[in-house]
Amino acid sequence: MVMRGGYWPEQPPVSSKISLPVPAFNFPDPGPSPQAGLPMVIYPTIQFYDGRMANHMWVQEIPDPMTQATWGGWLEIHPETAGKLGIKKADLLQVKTDYGTIRIPALPIYTVPEGVVAIPAGQGHSNFGRFANGLPGNPFELLAPDIDPVCGAILRQGLNPEIEKTGETFDIANTDGSFFQHGREMAVTISLEERNAMAASGQKPQIYYPLPDGYEKSKDFYPRQMYKEYRWTMVVDLDRCIGCGACVAGCYSENNVAVVKREQVLKGREMSWIRVQRYFDDDGKAAKWLVMLCQHCDNAPCEYVCPIFAPHHSQEGLNNQIYNRCFGTRFCSQNDPYKVRRFNWFTFTRPGSLKWQLNPDVTVRQKGVMEKCSFCVQRIIEAKLDAKVKGRERVRDGDFTTACAQTCPTGALIFGSLLDPDSRVSKLINDVRAYQVLAHLNTKPAVIYLKRVTQKITV
């Protein structure tokens, strides 16, 4: 009783209902004409909320889940509406209400309905910090000093601002190459009915296993890879992924990934080892996400083209990058179909006290060196040492995981060894939803995806 802190008799649980009024949000009706002003919505983002996180460099560098934009604000407008008004991407607009005026670049995108515009909150600071200051677009300057009677916050609805082109442009540092997949089936979905039918029939997914069993003499030019103790693999459940980018932040923290800022993002030089790609359906009405990182392929195209063998295939299936060998030919990046390798165009430094947050277990890369996801090899080594100290011969499934999997709030990333038949990854790769991105290239990737399940809901 002393250990429990007292005597606490068990009592039967009492069920109760909590009734809270949930106000319905009615989207603004499109204005009668462009001259009357388009209805505008100001919304909090998943990264900045109302702007309180704007002075964090990781949050600025991680792309917005829907727009894939970084380092600044933007005005979202449907492509059809933008076409009617003659507005193009990066056109600098003047947005004016009775209470203020801001200048913000336009981003035609399918995230808003036709005849409506939207601006994310959180940017446009002038005196908040070195990472937040000087970026365009503070929509709060457009608001009236009124309070929302429902929640008590600043009233953000009922705006019909005047929108004019200034004749100038301001480039948006977004990282997506396209809105669509162009038939390449990167982020794949499956209907609930089809999934259930496949499971009932016992149908197995077509997986090119990154194991000796996956070797086919008629297809494979190079000899099979042999593994003794581990074959590290990751399963990505797209049905759980919400595109938040928390995995990207976890990787930045764990692996000392450099923040390159807006100017370098505009040149396509971002350094993130893992990215969350957003794709719209062909009609632009729905979006899906794909978590993309180094696939640690059995037939890795990047390994064979390096003249000094900096990419190295380990005995546990890891596609390692040996920094001391690399002198920056970038042949590996050119031959990488997944485009997950990053080149250090500069020696990126951390300002001031931020150097103290670097992980001492991970090398800080220098100018001229290629880098990529390592499946958190430092954590693998630590788990092996821990198992040895505790008298175990092998690392058990679940003893550790990668930084991205640890950070994911929905458990969409699962890490383990395929040589352990009882591991979660060994069981999940037999799911009928399992597939590999660009499997037809025969790279035998060790990142296995589970298709997102869709179902029609009749209202």
In whole angstroms, how far apart are CA 298 and each of 173, 189, 212, 308?
34, 25, 9, 19
Least confident of 11-20, 107-116, 130-139, 286-295: 11-20
- On the question of pLDDT at 27 being above 60, the answer is no
pLDDT at 427: 94
Sign of CA dihedral 69, 71, 76, 82: negative
The DSSP symbol for 211 reads S
Is the per-residue pLDDT at 33 higher than 50? no
Single-letter amino acid, residue 6: G
Q: What is the percent of the chain with per-residue pLDDT over 70, rounded to a whole number?
A: 93
CA 441 from centre of chain: 24
**pLDDT at position 34:** 40
Is the pLDDT at 211 greater than 70? The verdict is yes
Phi-psi region of 385 (alpha: psi -120 to 50; beta: other; left: phi over 0): alpha
Identify the band that residue 434 occupies on the pLDDT scale cut at 50, 70 and 90: very high
For residue 31, the model assigns a pLDDT of: 45
Q: Is the pLDDT of residue 4 over 80?
A: no
Whether 61 shows a pLDDT value over 80: the answer reads yes
pLDDT greater than 80 at residue 19: no
Q: What integer pLDDT is reported at residue 241 of this predicted model?
A: 95
Contact yes or no for 78/87 (Cβ under 8 A): no
Instruction: List the domains of the chain with CATH numbers.
Output: 34-174 (2.40.40.20), 189-454 (3.30.70.20)
Q: Rounded to whole angstroms, how far apart are CA atoms 246 and 95?
A: 32
Q: Pick from 27, 20, 61: which is nearest to 43 by CA?
A: 27
What is the reported pLDDT for 235?
Answer: 97
pLDDT of amino acid 74: 94
DSSP label at residue 402: -
Average of pLDDT values for 429-453? Answer: 94
The pLDDT, as a whole number, for residue 2 is 59
Q: Measured between alpha carbons, how far is 135 from 92 in angstroms, rounded to an integer? A: 13
Q: Which two tokens stand for residue 353?
A: 């006290």
Distances (CA, A) of 31 to 39, 386, 412: 6, 64, 41
pLDDT at residue 226 above 70?
A: yes
pLDDT at residue 195, rounded to an integer: 92
- 47 with 61: CB under 8 angstroms? no
- Give mean pLDDT, residues 123-138: 89
Of 13-22, 201-210, 334-343, the poorest mean pLDDT is in 13-22
The residue-averaged pLDDT of 84-102 equals: 93
CB neighbour list of residue 91: distance below 8 Å, 6 or more residues apart:
105, 106, 165, 166, 168, 169
Q: Which two tokens stand for residue 259?
A: 């923040």
The answer on pLDDT for 456 being more than 90 is: no
Q: Which of 232, 186, 420, 215 is nearest to 299 (CA)?
A: 215
**For position 149, what pLDDT does the model report?**
80
CA dist., res. 289 & res. 280, Å (int): 9
Choose among 232, 242, 233: nearest CA to 291: 242
Overall average pLDDT of the 305-311 stretch: 94
Alpha helix locations (H) across 259-395?
261-266, 301-305, 331-334, 377-389
pLDDT one-digit tens code per residue, 367-409: 999 999 999 999 999 999 999 999 999 999 999 999 999 999 9
Tell me what pLDDT residue 383 has: 96
Instruction: Please report, rounded to a whole number, the percentage of residues in the chain having pLDDT higher than 90.
Output: 67
Dist CA 304 CA 226 (whole Å) = 17
Mean pLDDT of the chain: 89
Distance CA 301, CA 391 (A): 38
Contact by Cβ (8 Å): 182, 273: no
Average pLDDT value for residue range 241-255: 95
117-120 vs 40-43, strand pairing mode: parallel
pLDDT bin (cut points 50, 70, 90) of residue 353 is confident
